[in-house]
Chain A
Amino acid sequence: MDVVNQLIFLGGGLAVISILATRLSARLGAPLLLIFLVLGMLAGEDGIGGLHFSNFRLTFAVGSVALAIILFEGGLKMPRDVARLVGPPAFTLATLGVLITAAIVALAAVWFGGRTPQEGLLVGAVLASTDAAAVFMLLHGKGQAINRRVTGTLEMESGINDPVAVLLTLICIELVGHPDLSVGWFVLKEFLLELVGGVVFGIGGGLALRVMLERLTLSLGLYPVLAAASVLTVFAGANLAGGSGFLAVYLMGVMLASAPHRAQQVIGRFLDGLAWLAQITMFLLLGLLVTPSALVADLGFALAIAFGLIFIARPVAVYLCLTPFRFDWREKGYIAWVGLRGAVPIFLASIPILAGLPNAQSYFNVAFVTVLASLLIQGWTASRAGRFFGLEVPDQPHDEDYPDLGLGAAGTRELCGIRIGARARALTLDYNKLPLPEGSHLLSVIRGNHPLDHFTGKRPAIADYVIALAPAEDIINLQRLFGERQQDKVAELVGFGEFVFAADTPARDLALLYGLPVDSLGKRDGEVFQPIWDETLGDLLHQRLGKTLVVGDRLELGDVELVVREIKDGRVSSVGLELETRRKHVQAIRLVDWLLRQTGMRP
C-alpha cells in the first residue's frame, strides 16, 4: 500500500508543482512546456529527484491518450471560419510540408551522421510534425494576438500534421526493419487505409457524439465525461481498424465544434482542463523518461539536426508550401519560425525503441535535443517574432478573461462581472455618465459586501464589483473601461491606424482630406480606367488586396496605409488609417531595407 501512496503522492505533487510553475513561466517568459519538461528531468535520474523511470511502453500508452485529448481539444477550439480561411495552405503544409521537412532532415542525417537513407528518413519523419500542443498553448496564451491568417494556419497545420508524421514514422520503421521491402504498394495502401479510416471514424464519431449530446438528458457533469470517453473510444477504434486515430479525434473535435449544442460550454471548460492535464502528464513523463547524461553521446549530431531543422528544413518547407497561397513574406517568416516541436517527436521517437530497431536510443536522443532546442530558441522568442514581423493585432476578448456568471439565457448578451482596477478610466465619471458600449447595461454595483443603492448617480471607486449585461464582443470594452489601465492594448499598438473609419466610408472623402494619391487608385477594366470615386474603403481593400482578408492586412497608399481593423461576415467592417507606413515600425522591414541598401540593391 505504501508504494501505491508514494506513487500517488509523487504524481499529484509533480502536477501541483507544474501548475505552480506556470506562474514562473509568465514571469520568465519561458515557454510553459519547457518548464514541464525540465521539471520532469529534475525529478528524474540525473536530477534532484533521482527517480528511475525507463518504461517506454507505459510512456507510449499514456502519451497516446494525452495526445488524443490534446488533438480533440485543438479541433474543438478551431473556429469554423478559420478552416475556410486557411484550409488549403494548412493542408499543404501538413502533408507536402511534412514530406519536405523530413526529406531535408534525412539529407542532413545521412550527411552529418552517416545514417543510411532509410534511417535518415526515420529521423526526419520523427521530427517532421509541429506540435499542436506547443503551438496551441503558445498562441492561446494571453499576452499577444497575431494576425488570424497566420495563427489559423499554424494551428490547423499542427492539428493535421501529427497523423501524417505518425504514418510516415511507421512506414519508415518498416523500411528500416526490412530494407528489401518494395516501397510503392505498401506505402500507398498503408497511407490510404490510415487516411480513410481516420476520416470515417472522425466524422462518424463526431456525428454520433453530437446526436448523443442532443438527445440524452444527463446530469450536466456527465456530458464532458461522455465526450472524453467517446474520444478515447474513437481513437483506439480507429487505430484497431488500421486507420489514424489521431486524425480521427482531431476531426471529431472539429465536427463537434461545427454546430452549437447545449453542452458546448461545459465540454469546452472540462476539455480545456483535461488538455492541460494531458500536457503536464506527457511532458513530465517524457522529462522523466530521458536520461540527460545519455544524451551527450549523440549531442553533436543532434544539434546539427536541430539547427538544420529550425534554420533550413522548416523555412524551405514553409516557403515552398505557402508561396502559391498569397502569403506575405513576413507571414511566411513568422510561420517558419514558430513551427515549434513539442511532445510528438519525443513520443514518436519511442516507437523505434519499442520496435527494437538497432541504434534505437539515438532517435530518442536526437528528438529530445531537437525539441529542447526548438522550445528554447523558437518558443522563447515567439512573442518577439510577432513584433519583429509586425503581425500583432489588437487582442480579442477571451472568455477566460471575465467571470462568466453562467446565465446563458440572456439572449445574445452575456452577464459579466468586472472589478474596477486601479487607475481605471471609469474612475473619472459618474456611473450614469460612463460611455458604455451600445447594448450594454450596468445591473448592479457591489461595494464592500453590499449592493450599492442608486449607484447611477455615484462615482465609481476602486474595487467596486460591476455586474453588467453586454453583447459578448463588447465585454472587452467594458473591461477597458473598468479594468486596470494596462489592459487597453488597442491604442498602444503602434502601426494599427491612428484614426478609424467605417468600411462604408467613401474612399473619396479620405482621399480629399488626406491628399491620398487618387490618380493611382481605381481599377482598369479593359481600356477604361474607373477611378475610386464611388468606392467605399471596404471595396477598395477587398479589390486591391484580392484575397480573403483578416484583421491586420494593410494597403499602402502613398504616405499612409489603410489597415483592416475588424471583419464581420467575411467583409471588412472597420478600417484604420495609419499615418506613417510601417517601414518605420516593423523591424523585419527595416532590416530588409537595410540589407538591400548595404548590398547596393536599393539606393
Chain B
Amino acid sequence: MEIEDLITPAHVVARLKATSKKQVLQELAKRAAELTGLHERAVFDVLLERERLGTTGVGNGIAIPHGKLPEMKTLFGLFARLEESVDFDSIDEQPVDLIFLLLAPEGAGADHLKALARVSRLLRDRGVCEKLRGTDQPEALYALLTDSTASNAA
C-alpha cells in the first residue's frame, strides 16, 4: 500500500481555512464529496461519529480522520494543510495543521488498516512534516507526500 494508491494531485488542499475542528471536518467532507460524488452530509456524519469514539488527532499537529461508507468503491485519501492550526482534541493537546483524511468502503478490512498504518507512518516522520509545513504549493505537497514513499517503505 503506497500513498499514490490513495491520493492524486487533485486530492491536495494546500491552504484550508477553518477555525474549529467541526469546521475542518465540514470542509473536508465538502471536498471529499466534490471529488467522489458522495453526499457531503454522509461523509461528515461518518467522520463525526468516528471522532466521538476518540480523537483522530494523533499528535504533533497531525490528524488522520477516517471512516467507512457503504457507498464507497475504493479507498479515498485527501490531504489538507491548514492555513492556521486549530484545536483538534489531539492526544498531546497540540493544535493541528496537517490532516490526512481517509475514507474506506464498508468491506475493506485489511486494506483500510494498511492504508491507515501507511499514512500514520508517513506523518510520523518529523522531517516530512517540517517540509509539508514549509510549502503551500499543492504540487510540491503532493510530491513530498509521495516522494517519501520510496525512502519510507520499510
Contact = CB atoms under 8 A, between A and B. Distances in A.
Interface string B42-62: 000000001001111011111
Contact of B110 (A434, A501, A513, A559): A559
B139 interface: no
B108 to A, nearest CB: 8
Contact of B117 (A477, A491, A492, A579): A579
A515 B90 CA distance: 24
B34 interface: no
B98 to A, nearest CB: 12
Contact of B60 (A429, A436, A488, A560): A488
A477 B92 contact: yes
B120 interface: yes
Interface residues on B, range: 20 to 34
Contacts of B95: 425, 428-429, 434-435
Interface residues of A, number: 31
A510 B53 contact: yes
Given A502-B54, A510-B53, A490 B85 contact: no
Contacts of A425: 61, 94-95
A491 B60 contact: yes
Contacts of A481: 93-94
B113 A437 contact: no
27 contacts: A425-B94, A428-B85, A428-B95, A429-B84, A435-B90, A435-B95, A437-B93, A477-B92, A480-B92, A488-B60, A488-B92, A488-B94, A490-B91, A491-B58, A491-B91, A499-B58, A502-B54, A505-B53, A509-B53, A513-B50, A514-B109, A514-B112, A515-B108, A515-B110, A515-B112, A559-B113, A580-B117
Given A498-B117, A579-B117, A435 B54 contact: no
Nearest to A488: B92
A477 B54 CA distance: 18
Q: Is chain A's interface secondary structure helix, strand, loop, or mixed overall?
A: mixed
Contacts of B59: 488, 490-491
B100 to A, nearest CB: 12
Contact of A498 (B60, B64, B92, B93): B64
Given A425-B94, A477-B93, A481-B93, 20 more contacts: A428-B84, A428-B95, A429-B84, A429-B95, A435-B89, A435-B90, A480-B92, A480-B94, A488-B92, A491-B60, A491-B124, A498-B117, A499-B64, A500-B91, A502-B54, A509-B53, A514-B113, A515-B108, A515-B109, A515-B113
Q: Is chain B's interface secondary structure helix, strand, loop, or mixed overall?
A: mixed
A559 B124 CA distance: 20
Interface in B101-127: 108-110, 112-113, 116-117, 120, 124
A507 B24 CA distance: 28
B93 A480 contact: yes
B120 A579 contact: yes
A433 interface: yes
Interface of A: 425, 428-429, 433-437, 477, 480-481, 488, 490-492, 494, 498-502, 505, 509-510, 513-515, 559-560, 579-580
Contacts of B53: 501, 505, 509-510, 513
B81 interface: no
Contacts of A510: 53
A579 B68 CA distance: 16
Contact of B92 (A491, A505, A580): A491
B53 to A, nearest CB: 6
A435 B58 contact: no
Nearest to B130: A423
B113 A579 contact: yes
A492 B124 CA distance: 7
A514 B58 CA distance: 17
Contacts of B68: 513
A580 B119 CA distance: 12
A500 B59 CA distance: 11
A210 to B, nearest CB: 38
A241 to B, nearest CB: 54
Contacts of B110: 515, 559
Given A494-B124, A515-B113, A579-B117, A500 B94 contact: no
A433 B93 CA distance: 12
A500 B108 CA distance: 21
